[in-house]
């Protein structure tokens, strides 16, 4: 609609410019002879001048409406977490794959550098019903709320023991945002030094390394970052 209004205004201004030129030529013709070629040039100049003026006016008289940029609403994926027991910083491991293996091997998705943990200790599988924890024939067993299990469907708040490492299962929340992967140190029973742990590919965080926990996402999950100069 705006284009049609601008086009009509341009045509009107061209007609006005041509009409003014013809009126001036008629007045001049009463006193002198105006060659036909010069008449055409004068008419063209007046029409061009009026067209230029109409270009300036149409921008103010008929502005284009502001076009809104539509951003598609994409629901971000939510997932459960394994939170270290007794850890007030809310660090932990996101269960963001359909099948996650927990163990001492570097190739495990979640690597726990602790002698009480078997090489491939347990697994967590995401099902339609929820998250299924399964023991993979470990030496020291897998426990849920103090009971040794072969497999169990996890519920929010379940306490999970994998060797001497303890976690709390945190079920996914509706409409949550996708958080950054948090890393931290697992407390061990008996007041011993924390076990090293990592996620996604076997990188082990040394708990004795100097650094800070910094907030990384809307859930308050914190990730470990080395301090400048300590590397």
Q: Domain coordinates of the chain in residue numbers?
A: 2-61, 80-171+180-217
- Render pLDDT for 82-135 as a digit per residue (tens, 0 to 9): 998 755 556 789 998 999 999 999 999 999 999 999 999 999 999 988 999 999
Residue 225 pairs in a beta bridge with 212
Helix, strand, coil percent values for the chain (each to nearest 5): 25, 25, 50
pTM for the whole thing? 0.46
As a whole number, mean pLDDT of residues 3-23 equals 83
pLDDT band at 219 (very low <50, low <70, confident <90, very high): very low
168: Cα within 13 Å, side-chain hemisphere: 12
The order of strands in the sheet holding 196-199 is 151-153, 131-135, 122-126, 99-103, 110-113, 196-199
CATH of domain 80-171+180-217: 2.60.200.20
- Render pLDDT for 143-192 as a digit per residue (tens, 0 to 9): 999 999 999 999 999 999 999 999 999 988 754 333 333 333 333 343 33
33 token code pair: 């002879």
- The residues, ordered by sequence, that sit 6+ positions from 112 with a Cβ below 8 Å of its Cβ are 102, 103, 104, 121, 162, 163, 165, 186, 195, 196, 197
DSSP string, 86-105: T-TT---EEE-SSEEEEESS
Q: Is residue 63 scored above 90 in pLDDT?
A: no
Look at 176 and 62; give whichever has higher pLDDT.
Answer: 62
């Amino acid at each position: 609609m705006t284009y049609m209004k601008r086009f009509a205004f341009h045509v009107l201004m061209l007609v006005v410019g041509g009409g003014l030129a013809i009126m001036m030529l008629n007045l001049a013709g009463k006193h002198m002879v105006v060659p036909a070629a010069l008449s055409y040039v004068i008419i063209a100049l007046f029409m061009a001048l009026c067209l230029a003026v109409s270009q300036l006016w149409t921008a103010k008289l008929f502005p284009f409406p502001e076009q809104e940029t539509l951003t598609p609403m994409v629901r971000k994926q939510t997932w459960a977490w394994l939170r270290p027991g007794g850890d007030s910083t809310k660090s932990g491991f996101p269960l963001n794959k359909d099948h996650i293996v927990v163990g001492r091997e570097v190739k495990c998705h979640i690597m726990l550098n602790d002698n009480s943990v078997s090489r491939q200790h347990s697994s967590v599988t995401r099902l339609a019903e929820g998250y299924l924890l399964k023991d993979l024939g470990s030496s020291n067993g897998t426990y849920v709320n103090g009971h040794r299990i072969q497999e169990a469907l996890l519920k929010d708040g379940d306490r999970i023991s994998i060797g001497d490492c303890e976690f709390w299962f945190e079920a996914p929340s509706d409409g949550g945002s996708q958080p950054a992967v948090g890393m931290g140190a697992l407390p061990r029973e008996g007041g011993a030094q924390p076990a090293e742990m990592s996620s996604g590919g076997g990188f082990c965080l040394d708990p004795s390394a100097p650094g800070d926990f910094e907030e990384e996402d809307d859930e308050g999950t914190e990730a470990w970052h080395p301090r400048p100069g300590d590397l």
